[in-house]
Amino acid sequence: MIGADRKSSADSQKAMVGKAACLANDVIFGWSASADEDKKQATDLVNRALSRGAADVRAHSVKGSILLFGQPADALAAYNLALEINPNFHTAHAGRAVALILSGRAREAVSPLELALRISPRDPAASLWLWELRVAHLHLRQYEEAIEQCSRSVNMNGANFKAYISLISAYGSTGQMEKARQALAQLDKTHPNFTLQLYRRVAYAFSSDPEYRRGVDNILDGLRKGGIPEQ
């Protein structure tokens, strides 16, 4: 009976963390009907799971995802706890990198993103990690590195519109206007109404950190030079 009770408790803990992860993803990707309510429910679920005492790497990582947008410093602490339990947990490395970018520490984000991609190169979330790696390079004005990663993404998936956004910014920032126009033509095929106003609104919503927003402004300046309209 004791063994059965322990199994039931572990299964319940996994179920709570799994549901919290789904709610966190709904908030992150804008699928939630009520982001505040889903975030509150996810936080309650993951805290209940963690209160059961087991060192659960996924629970800490999911908690990081819940806190990521709006509380990046707290998210960073949660990801660090996950990596203390399992230093090879690729999802926590990637999440930690995003928290670093949102905390205005883009230079520190490159290494954990590259590590996540090395550990799990075929992960379903790998395209998102590549996007964040390009964002980190753009925040740091490392335009050649950003262009290299964009080309890698386009070769993997030519329909990846986010790669074209990064290319436009990088080409615009480096004065490669013909290439910027070519990337803009590709972006227009799927997102003809993309504007600076849209990018600014979404990016600024992620974090109010001044250094992070300076990086966003650098990206916006490249997009402007590359031909993206203001609104």
The set of long-range contacts for 184-193, using a CB threshold of 8 Å and a minimum separation of 24, is 184/226, 184/227, 184/228, 187/161, 190/159, 190/161, 191/161
Specify the pLDDT at position 157: 67
What is the torsional sign of CA 23, 27, 33, 37? positive
CA distance 222 to 194: 14
User: Which structural domains are found in the chain, ordered by start?
Assistant: 127-231 (1.25.40.10)
The CA distance from 41 to 75, in Å, is 17
Residue 76 vs residues 38, 61, 161, 176, 221: alpha-carbon distances, Å: 20, 9, 28, 36, 28
The pTM assigned to this predicted structure is 0.89
**Chain segment 18-73, per-residue pLDDT in tens:** 999 999 888 888 888 888 899 999 999 999 998 886 678 999 999 999 999 889 99
Burial class (CB within 10 angstroms; exposed 0-12, middle 13-18, buried 19+) of 13: buried
Report pLDDT digits (tens) over 100-140: 999 999 999 999 999 999 999 989 888 889 889 999 999 99
